Amino acid sequence: MPSISEKRVTFHALHKSGCFVIPNPWDIGSARWLQGMGFKALASTSSGFAWSKGFADNHVTREMVLAHLSELVAATDIPINADFESGFAHDPAGVAESVKLAVDTGVAGLSIEDSTGDKAKPLYDLDTAVARLKAARKAIDEKGGDTLLVGRAENFFAGVPDLDDTIARLKAYSNAGADCLYSPGIRTKEQIAAVVKAVAPKSFNLLIGGAIGITVKDAEQLGVRRISVGGALARAAWGGFQRAVKQIVEEGRFDEFANAAAGAELNKFFNTDRAK
């Protein structure tokens, strides 16, 4: 298995050219399966992990997330990027403390959001958001500097779909030391092209969590460096589970099991995977 340092070098290299998909597992099994499918890096999903533990998104503790990240890193031999929510703190000092703990798990990258969790004021003001990113950058540098930092502008997720403000925030986060920029919720080719141009030469992460009519090839042509799917794979798994359960409850039928993965295939994969 590659060392943590080697994983981080690999992760930085992936961001230098081309476009890669960084899917989001929610547990060890899904992480190992995605690795087995040939993906070069993976990213955790705060929502997928929370649901697997019986919580709503953004309602798990920092300690739970850190333990989860440690498990993902130990279970795989490719880089792991942490969905580290808003750093589990409001103030820059608290963010720095959390980031240092995340780096200690061995992740190759981590993202910090600018959402507050307060519906009345869903985003941190820009000065505060920048101070938080700078604190994250300094914390990473004090730990060796090789963990990739992702700055997230949550405008479109937080109910403030202002593209100009999004771009202003992403530029500020880039100047604050973010290596990669991310604005979940933008959907159109025009929006994507505008953001990619604004943050260049830094890389941009595009979230595709639904059928928005954009392929990997389309994204690459727009200048997107990496594509994540957030909680979409977890939601797809939950969708199959819900449909099967609903059919049992409402119809007393089990037809949905016809769409289930084959147990023999899963056992074969995980027996082989464990042997590596």
Is 276's pLDDT higher than 60? Answer: no
CA distance 138 to 171: 18
Domain segments of the chain: what residues? 4-230
Q: Is the pTM of this model over 0.75?
A: yes
To the nearest whole percent, how much of the chain has pLDDT over 70?
Answer: 99
Reduce the secondary structure of 92-109 to three states and give it as a string: HHHHHHHHHHHHHCCCCE
130-140 residue pLDDT tens: 999 999 999 99
pLDDT in the model for residue 275: 58
pLDDT digits (tens, 9 = 90+) for 139-186: 999 999 999 999 999 999 999 999 999 999 999 999 999 999 999 999
SS3 for 207?
strand
Half-sphere exposure of 141 (CA within 13 A, CB side): 10
Q: Band the pLDDT of 274: cuts 50, 70, 90.
A: low
CATH 3.40.50.300 fits 4-230, yes or no: no
d(CA 75, CA 254): 34
CA angle at residue 138 from 132 to 139, to 5 degrees? 90
Say if residue 225's pLDDT is above 90: yes
